[in-house]
Amino acid sequence: DQQVKQNSPSLSVQEGRISILNCDYTNSMFDYFLWYKKYPAEGPTFLISISSIKDKNEDGRFTVFLNKSAKHLSLHIVPSQPGDSAVYFCAATPYSGGGADGLTFGKGTHLIIQP
Amino acid sequence: KAGVTQTPRYLIKTRGQQVTLSCSPISGHRSVSWYQQTPGQGLQFLFEYFSETQRNKGNFPGRFSGRQFSNSRSEMNVSTLELGDSALYLCASSLDMGDRLHGYTFGSGTRLTVV
């Protein structure tokens, strides 16, 4: 049972426009959400995160929105650039005090920026 | 600042053999996590180590094990290899255990092929 779902395997966006990547989760215990970007033959690179006490977090061209009641988050990239072409992973993890819980990842969305 | 280093980059093993993969975290990072990436299951959490102790484990059989040394370097071992163990194995480090909001820094991975 997939606890983190990225329903669009791929997305094509024109350079300069907004890219919106979506992610849904089912586990209400998730408290932290992260987005990673991955190029072929490289490991995932951390982009941005958000905790469940917020509904928005911004970092430069990247903004993550969290809708807890809908168990949905999205990543907005504005404006989209050719270097943004990569696979984007949504990940989530619960808060567990002093413990450590691994990240649960979605299957990824391949973003293609068209010139 | 050197990133997360994983060795070897590529490995081919025969069914039934065992394999050891190595990960050197970013200097100063004390937590090391391991993930398996396959086309079918995506990225899945294996385990996380902090202060030489396994803090959490994902849903993998006991054939998958690991350890962490006093200098925070980590190794993971897979015994009695099966064809389904063919995957990209990713190591990630973070400053502290469960450092969720600042993300984890991933290495480029070890591509294991079991024949």
The predicted-structure confidence for A21-51, as pLDDT tens digits, reads as follows 999 999 998 989 999 999 988 899 999 999 9
The predicted-structure confidence for B24-83, as pLDDT tens digits, reads as follows 999 999 999 999 999 889 999 999 999 899 988 899 999 999 999 999 999 999 999 999
A93 → chain B, closest CA residue: B100
Distance (Å) from the C-alpha of residue B111 to the closest C-alpha of chain A? 9
Instruction: Look up residue B38 and give its DSSP letter.
Output: E
Measuring CA to CA, which residue among B28, B102, B54 is closest to residue A47? B102
Helix (H) or strand (E) holding A31: strand A30-38
Distance (Å) from the C-alpha of residue A45 to the closest C-alpha of chain B? 7
Chain A residues inside the 8 Å CB shell of B55: 99-100
The set of long-range contacts for A50-58, using a CB threshold of 8 Å and a minimum separation of 24, is: A51/B100, A51/B101
Query: Is the peptide bond prior to B8 cis by the omega test (within 30 degrees of 0)?
Result: yes
CA-based radius of gyration for chain B: 13
The answer on pLDDT for A98 being more than 80 is no
Looking up tokens 């024949």 gives B115
Cβ count within 10 A of residue B60 = 16
